[in-house]
Structure 1
Amino acid sequence: MNPVTAHDARRRRRLAAEIKDSLRELSNQLSLLNHQVGTHLELKDVDLDCLELITRHGPMSPSAVARRAGLHPATMTGILDRLQKGGWITRERDPDATDRRAVEVRALRERSTEVFKLYSGMNTKMDNLLADYSAADLELISDFLQRTTTAGQTATTKLAEA
């Protein structure tokens, strides 16, 4: 096994710092893109975030959406009210719940095309960018992003509990 040289250690630290900087820049750019999409849809940023959670992980209870979003249940009620009023979601009684007051929140598929259309430019750019990578490269990138997402979720949970 080759010992790590001081040069290698410096190079790894520099590359790690570049990756972290790039992730922060990516986060900023995606926030700006999401803000523009929300503006076109007349949704607040947090409403769009919650709609995305419901679309990807739903149907689910309002409390589950609040947990995933890291928001207080009272705040979530206002967000869900706005999304329902705008025709983005529906609240339905949970047929499997023992509490008859329990509801599930479900995204309305007929509105999804409006969202997808606004992200189509980014999706096309991503398709073109990813076409330059081998399957092995894509597996590595996918693993990195999944592990980064998990690290972010863990950090978010810790902050929310503090």
Structure 2
Amino acid sequence: MSSTADRADARHRRQLTVAVRDALRELNIQLSLLNRRFGSRVELRDIDWTCLDLIDRHGPMTPTALARQAGLHPATLTGILDRLQKGGWIVRERDPESSDRRAVTLHAVRERNTELFQLFAGMNSRMDALCEHYSAAELEVIADFLRRTGAAGQESAEELTDANTS
């Protein structure tokens, strides 16, 4: 009798896992649409926005570090950085300590963040309202799940990169 219950529990768990994966796929689609529409408002391509967000969140950093985090070839990154600098989103500062005169550090122009925050105000308000419906313990579980999902995505992207270089 317990084997029937075990099979039912296993089937239900598989269904829930599929539902989570489907929800993540839908979330990916909706966030991609949001980012594309956001990017068109501030004249940033998707990859430009990704690089700006990485610099903003984890910078200042070198172009090499950014290329690694964004999974981009350094030559591809040059055009992206040129567009970001021309748009006033980043500055490239020479590293006075480096023996390589070409060495630079990338800095986000923090004064421009107000513009970004205004565009994301609707999403941020909706997220705040959504989170109000969860307890602190539930929010900890959700945050943990999302961090682990991000790590799984990063590992999967690295696998695909490694497969291309093999």
TM-score bracket for this pair, using the shorter chain length:
over 0.9
With a CA cutoff of 8 Å and minimum separation of 6, indicate the structure with the bigger relative contact order: 1
Aligned to 2:57: 56
Aligned to 1:116: 117
1:45 positional shift: 1.0
1:97 positional shift: 3.4
Q: Residues 95, 138 of structure 1: CA spacing in aligned structure 2 closer, same or farther, 3 A cutoff?
A: farther
Identity score, percent: 60
Counterpart CA distance in 2 for 1:157 and 1:113 is 33
Alignment deviations for residues 69-110 of structure 1 (CA, whole Å, 9 cap, x no partner): 111100100000000001000000124434332111110011
Aligned to 1:45: 46
**Could you list the runs of 4 or more consecutive aligned residues of structure 1 that deviate by over 2 angstroms after TM superposition?**
94-101
Aligned to 1:101: 102
Aligned to 1:8: 9
Across the aligned residues of Structure 1 and Structure 2, the Cα RMSD in angstroms comes to 1.4
Q: Which runs of 5+ in 1 are unaligned?
A: none
State the SS of the aligned residue for 1:5. helix
State the SS of the aligned residue for 1:59. coil
Aligned to 2:33: 32
Aligned to 1:80: 81
Q: Residues 96, 23 of structure 1: CA spacing in aligned structure 2 closer, same or farther, 3 A cutoff?
A: farther
